[in-house]
Amino acid sequence: MRVKAFSLVAASFMATSAGHAQTVSAPIAFAVCAGCHSVQPGKTVFGPSLAGLAGRKAGSVPGYAYSPALKASGLTWNAATLDRWLKGPQRLVPGTRMPFPGMQDAKARKAVISYLMTLR
């Protein structure tokens, strides 16, 4: 079920990026995130939408049921905090509900973060 949902989301994600020529295209490494995150404002998949992430306070999308840990983290998303988050979400925010072990490849993290910083 989860695999099926993932491919559906991935397919619609690719279709969406193809439909907007002016949008910066997502790096390959973002595919693993796209199963749980939309980049369209207000669209929840499993995780919160990542639209407008740059400069946003952690846990601040209205209506999304965040973990108390992430809401209380006091983080603001920028290249530095995202680098630590993507390296090890549970290490940066113990108790977060993002079920993601982390991305150890620094280049892949950098590609994903540069992309995230462009999302409006």
Q: Which of 97, 110, 111, 119 binds ligand HEC (CB under 6 A)?
A: 97
Residue 92: closest CA among 74, 105, 108: 74
6 near ligand HEC, judged by CB under 6 A: no
Q: Which parts of 40-79 interact with ligand HEC (CB under 6 A)? A: 46-48, 50, 53, 58-59, 61, 66-67, 69-70, 77
d(CA 34, CA 31): 5
Q: Which of 26, 36, 39, 92 binds ligand HEC (CB under 6 A)?
A: 36
Burial class (CB in 10 A: 0-12, 13-18, 19+), 55: exposed
Burial class (CB in 10 A: 0-12, 13-18, 19+), 81: middle
| Block residue for tokens 């969406």 | 16
Q: Which of 52, 100, 110, 119 binds ligand HEC (CB under 6 A)?
A: 100
86 near ligand HEC, judged by CB under 6 A: yes
Q: Which of 26, 38, 39, 96 binds ligand HEC (CB under 6 A)?
A: 96
Burial class (CB in 10 A: 0-12, 13-18, 19+), 70: buried
Query: Which residues are near ligand HEC by CB under 6 A?
Result: 32-33, 35-37, 46-48, 50, 53, 58-59, 61, 66-67, 69-70, 77, 85-86, 96-100, 103, 112
